[in-house]
Structure 1
Amino acid sequence: MQQKAEAPERDQSHAREPEKAPQEKPRITTTDPTTGRPGKSYDGHTAEEARAIAGAAQRAFESWRRTSFAERAALMRRAAEVLRRRRDEFAALMTEEMGKTLKDGRDEVEKCAFNCEHFADNAERYLAREPVDLGGQKAFVTYNPLGVVLAVMPWNFPFWQVFRFAAPGLMAGNAAVLKHASNVPGCALAIESVFREAGFPENLFRAVLIPGREVRGLIEDPAIAAATLTGSVEAGRQVATAAGSVLKKTVLELGGSDAYVVLEDADIEKAAKICAAARMVNAGQSCIAGKRFIVVKPVREAFERAFTEAMRAYEMGDPREEGTKLGPLQAVAARDEIHKQVEESIANGARCLTGGEVPDRVGAWYPPTVLTDVRPGMPAYDEEVFGPVAAIIEAADEGEAIRIANASRFGLGSGVLTRDLARGERIAAEELEAGMSFVNANVRSDPRMPFGGVKESGYGRECSHFGIREFTNVKSVLVAPA
């Protein structure tokens, strides 16, 4: 154990503290998941630099909080224009750093632009004062910004995840500091450049390139008012613990093992295509991708055939080529972990209907994979498999299917496939334990609908008026006669 230094003598007025050695800047080099070759390198920030950036953001906030909604909206619409103008550039950057197909990248950038416009158009309405009837005295609720929000964001939707918090956060009058995933530093800096090019005040939105071990110190810094994280359950626990120790607000969007219930009256061909699309979004690397497909016994075999065929249609290909439906995963290590989950599930009795083998090619490739006869005790049943692997689970009837769907530590998204819309609505609205439940459609995020989960999928909401209010001070005001 390191001993404490002895207390100094009282008369130390002329003594000088030894100069601290400057911290060495970290160097971050990306890897192209398509080829496995090193990509671009970036200078990271030291812990001191990150705290200085947070302080600069806090100073920018003091002026920004007093701007009008009209001023904020004009700049946010310019951000949407910048995104659309640089769409191809940003899509290519996502492909380079985490393997997203160019089409998916362009779609993601467009979604970010729409999100910016949505909050530019609606923030003032979402945050309008709400009168309260107290029988004569004037009273109302108002929503004031909190300050600098630290966002710890993942690599899988490197633009959308950031703009999902940033557009409402800035429109609410907050500032933002982004700590992005270490494999997408170029995306982090590109997003910062969008707000700079759009004309937002200097330092209002900043990216810090720091390792995960430095996040706690940044959360504890007085300049940070609150934190939001999208990521793993373990990362969520760490951020919540750090923020809780200094009593700062958090919003967490964590893992998911989304269940889709396929009932006996479903259109099987249509259901299979919906479920395949749900599983294969972003090569299966999505918290809200469908992962467990719970099928009632009478239609299980028919669904297996149709679903396997629909999954095989997602052929692996170069993500830079138009028409590619399945690019590489984000890293070889991640691919190997997924394959381990598949192998362990098969060793415990699951059957592989397609895929399940690592391709003999350089890069982080994995084929569409369908496992059936999946039961408790298998990774495909119990864990989140973050890749193009689907688990088919048989249920005797609707009741058992719902019990299986809810018997998970996660509760992010869920789906119901049925021709009986009233039945599907009832199950989605009242039975499934998830933050989102869609009938005859795959779960997706939308700025107009609240987004978030329950149980170990996190807490708090993003998007819509629920999301923009998360990082505000919901203040009660009463004005009595003088």
Structure 2
Amino acid sequence: MAIATVNPATGEELKRFEALDREQIDEKIERAVGAFRGWRETPVQERCRLMARAAEVLEERAEEFGRLITTEMGKPLAAAVAEVRKSARGCRYYAQNAARFLADEEVELEGARAFVRYQPLGPVLAVMPWNFPFWQVFRFAAPALTAGNVGLLKHASNVPQSALAIEEVFRQAGFPEGVFQTLLIGASQVRDVISDPRVRAATLTGSTPAGRDVGGEAGRNIKPSVLELGGSDPFIVMPSADLDRALDTAVTSRTLNNGQSCINAKRIIVHRQIAEEFTRRFVEKMASLKVGDPMDETTDMGPLAMPSILEGVDEQVRRSVEAGAKVLTGGKPLDGPGYFYPPTVLAEIPEGAPAREEEIFGPVASLFTARDIDEAIRLANETPFGLGSSAWTNDPEEQERFVDEIEAGMVYINRLVESTPEVPFGGVKSSGYGRELSHFGIREFVNVKTVWIDASGGERGRGVE
């Protein structure tokens, strides 16, 4: 895939870049190693000050960067600007909390002083996707850099200008040269970077197959990795729910980011008592959304990011219909230039159909009816994914069952699933491992060092692990 900016609303290529060669990659890795020597010794308070400055840069240039995001991947402009401001919020969160998260932790022991110290690992490679081209980078970079690591970014090949802009943010904020660098490289070059002994860890947000490649290569080289992979999130609605709020949130969640988010509500599971009304109103709301120019403030949903995404979504819908699924609205790409696909609702989806078993990375909602809470939970858990989930009920016993029994890294009750700096983000099963954000995120790429200073002079426990 070419490293190029192609406007998904028009299909026009705007700018193309040459991939770095092996010598250029080597120079950047060596620069990262040199930067790490000084950055790890920089007091955490200074690292936090610079991260707070990065937040200011993002806020000052939010409109500019928002237009760049929309141009490269097609989300509505208001959402793109909001993403930049959310990235600023993430930077500010770690600027305010990193020192506390990284402070030594004392352990009470008789006759000794023991504590845990958190120390950075070194250069970390981040392989990041195009769907949230700023936020997903900053939710890695803000904790990793304040912890004292340095970052190497391999961004998606269709958002190269966003990748370079993020490097510019850190430069403008005053970070030392080499602490954060963008690598304009193709996917085939990632393996060599991970296997380079100077690179100490890797993180990826992307597809499950990409996760196998990155996680596998990191594992072969005995390096830690964090994988945030795909999702086919359930959105369960029970009879006691506030139906108006549940409906509005279901539509918002499924079409957020033009339907291209790992935590979109992809499988809508509705109790049979309210299924008829919910379905009618949900289809009406989905069909009423305005699809068009993402720079137009009246647009609800822009194009898909790439022709391959459009073709993949169309194929999954066609295969689902061939298997017996029923199209309630949408279902075919829109005519004209650009990569537009309408909000789509499928129902009566049989086992084995893509809309039931695969992640559809576009604005396609799969509707299911559940007889009771047991069937709702079974449907929620029947996919190989386990990232986010949303359940709508005002019954405390049902809430507890969903919290306890849904197989996912995140369960949101009566709320849209979202990533936010204050709580950990990540999944289970084929949705990956490790956690981003909160204090868990900043401790993923550190040496959790045990320190024991014996004051007794004894030999307690010698020879026993």
Partners of 1:47 and 1:418 lie apart in 2 by 55
1: CA distance, partners of 2:224 / 2:249: 37
Taking the aligned partners of 2:172 and 2:2, their CA distance within structure 1 comes to 26
What residue number does 1:226 align with? 201
Specify the alignment match of 2:386 in structure 1. 411
Superposition deviation, residue 228 in structure 1: 0.2
| 2:365 partner SS | strand
Match of 1:463 in 2: 437
Output one character per residue of 1:268-306: Cα deviation in whole Å (capped at 9) or x when no partner: 232111111111110110001110011122211111012
Contact 1:269 1:306 in 2 (8 A): no
Give how far 1:423 is off: 3.1
Q: Which has the larger displacement, 167-176 or 428-437?
A: 428-437
Partner of residue 188 from structure 2, selected from 201, 213, 234: 213
- Verify: 1:436 aligned to 2:421, yes or no: no
The structure 1 segments of at least 4 consecutive aligned residues displaced by more than 3 Å after TM superposition are: none
Are residues 1:118 and 2:87 paired? no
- The 3 A distance-change label for structure 1 pair 205 and 272 is same
Q: Which amino acid aligns with 2:286?
A: M
Preserved CA contact (<8 Å) 2:373 2:398: no
Provide structure 1 residue ranges, at least 5 long, that are not aligned to the other structure: 1-25
Q: What code does the residue aligned with 2:62 have?
A: R
* Letter in structure 2 aligned against 1:125: R
Structure 2's unaligned 5+ residue stretches are 458-465
The equivalent residue for 1:304 is 279
**CA distance in structure 2 between the aligned counterparts of 1:294 and 1:136, rounded to whole angstroms:** 58
Largest Rg, 1 or 2: 1
Task: Give the corresponding residue for 2:30.
Answer: 55
Task: Choose from 1, 19, 23 the match for 1:44.
Answer: 19
Quote the Cα distance in structure 2 between the aligned partners of 1:275 and 1:27.
Answer: 35
The Cα shift of 1:312 comes to: 2.3
What is the CA–CA distance in structure 2 between the aligned matches of 1:29 and 1:69, rounded to whole Å? 37
Q: How many residues align structurally?
A: 456
**Equivalents in 1 of 2:420, 2:350: separation in Å?**
33
Cα contact 1:268–1:302 (8 A) shared by 2: no
The question of whether the paired residues in 2 share the 8 Å contact of 1:416 and 1:424 is answered with no
Superposition map of 1:123-138 within 5 A: 123-138=98-113
Q: Distance in 2 between matches of 1:306 and 1:469?
A: 44
After superposition, where does 1:387-402 map in structure 2 within 5 Å?
A: 387-402=362-377
Q: Are residues 1:260 and 2:228 paired? A: no
Amino acid at match of 1:463: L
CA distance, structure 2, for counterparts of residue 419 and residue 83 of structure 1: 39
1:317-337 deviation digits (Å, cap 9, x = unpaired): 210111321000101221111
User: Residues of 2 paired with 1:457 and 1:146: CA distance?
Assistant: 25
Counterpart residue type for residue 473 of structure 1: N
- The secondary structure found in structure 2 opposite 1:201 is coil
Give CA-to-partner distance per residue, 1:149-195, whole Å, 9 cap, x none: 10000000000000000000000000000000000000100000000
AA at the equivalent of 2:439: H
Distance, in Å, in 1 between the alignment partners of 2:125 and 2:44 is 22
SS in 2 for 1:133: strand
Question: Cα deviation per residue 1:7-60 (whole Å; 9 max; x = unaligned)?
Answer: xxxxxxxxxxxxxxxxxxx97332110001111122331122112211211110
Say which is worse superposed, 312-321 or 466-475, in terms of deviation: 312-321
C-alpha root-mean-square deviation of aligned residues, in Å?
1.2
> What residue number does 2:318 align with?
343
1:34/1:452 Cα in 2 relative to 1: closer, same or farther (>3 Å)?
same
Cα distance in 2 for residues equivalent to 1:59 and 1:87 = 31
Q: 2: CA distance between counterparts of 1:76 and 1:213?
A: 32
- Alignment of 1:97 with 2:72, yes or no, is yes
What is the alpha-carbon distance in structure 1 between the residues aligned to residue 364 and residue 189 of structure 2?
Answer: 33
Distance 2:289 2:114 in 1: 57
Match for residue 150 of structure 1? 125
- Find the residue that maps to 1:423 and give its secondary structure: helix
CA distance in 2, matches of 1:427, 1:198: 47
Deviation at 1:96, TM superposition (A): 1.2
Matches within 5 A, 1:265-414: 265-414=240-389
Distance 1:93 1:101 in 2: 11
Which deviations, in whole Å up to 9, do the C-alpha atoms of 1:213-242 show, x marking residues without a partner? Answer: 010000011110000000000000000111
User: 1: distance between equivalents of 2:175 and 2:128?
Assistant: 21
Q: Offset at 1:267?
A: 2.6
Q: Which amino acid aligns with 1:475?
A: K
The amino acid across from 1:443 in the alignment is V
Counterpart of 2:452 in 1: which secondary structure? Answer: strand
**Structure 1: distance between partners of 2:363 and 2:111:** 60
State the TM-score, normalizing by the size of structure 1.
Answer: 0.93
Give the conservation status (yes or no) of the 8 Å contact 1:424–1:439: no
Looking at structure 2, the residues matched to 150 and 189 of structure 1 have their Cα atoms a distance apart, in angstroms, of 15
Q: Structure 2: how far apart are the matches of 1:254 and 1:320? A: 29
Q: Which moved more, 1:147-156 or 1:274-283?
A: 274-283
**2-side partners of 1:445 and 1:28: how far apart?**
28
**Which AA in structure 2 matches 1:436?**
M
Could you tell me how far apart the structure 2 residues matched to 1:152 and 1:285 are? 18
SS in 1 for 2:133: coil
Partners of 1:323 and 1:40 in 2: CA distance: 27
Deviation at 1:378, TM superposition (A): 0.7
Q: What is the SS of the residue equivalent to 1:223?
A: coil
**Cα distance in structure 2, aligned partners of 1:78 and 1:57:** 21
1:475 and 2:461 matched: no
Is the 1:256–1:413 contact (alpha carbons within 8 Å) kept by the matching residues of 2?
A: yes
Aligned to 1:198: 173
Q: Secondary structure at the match of 2:367?
A: strand
Q: What is the rounded CA distance, in whole Å, between the counterparts of 1:74 and 1:179 in structure 2?
A: 26
Q: Is the 8 A contact 2:4 2:159 kept in 1?
A: no
User: Percent identity over the alignment?
Assistant: 51
Residue 352 of structure 1 aligns to a residue in which SS?
strand
CA contact (8 A) 1:39 1:96 kept: no
Q: Which residue of 2 aligns with 1:20?
A: none
Task: Determine which of 212, 216, 226 is the counterpart of 1:241.
Answer: 216
Q: How many Å apart are 1:85 and its aligned residue? A: 1.1
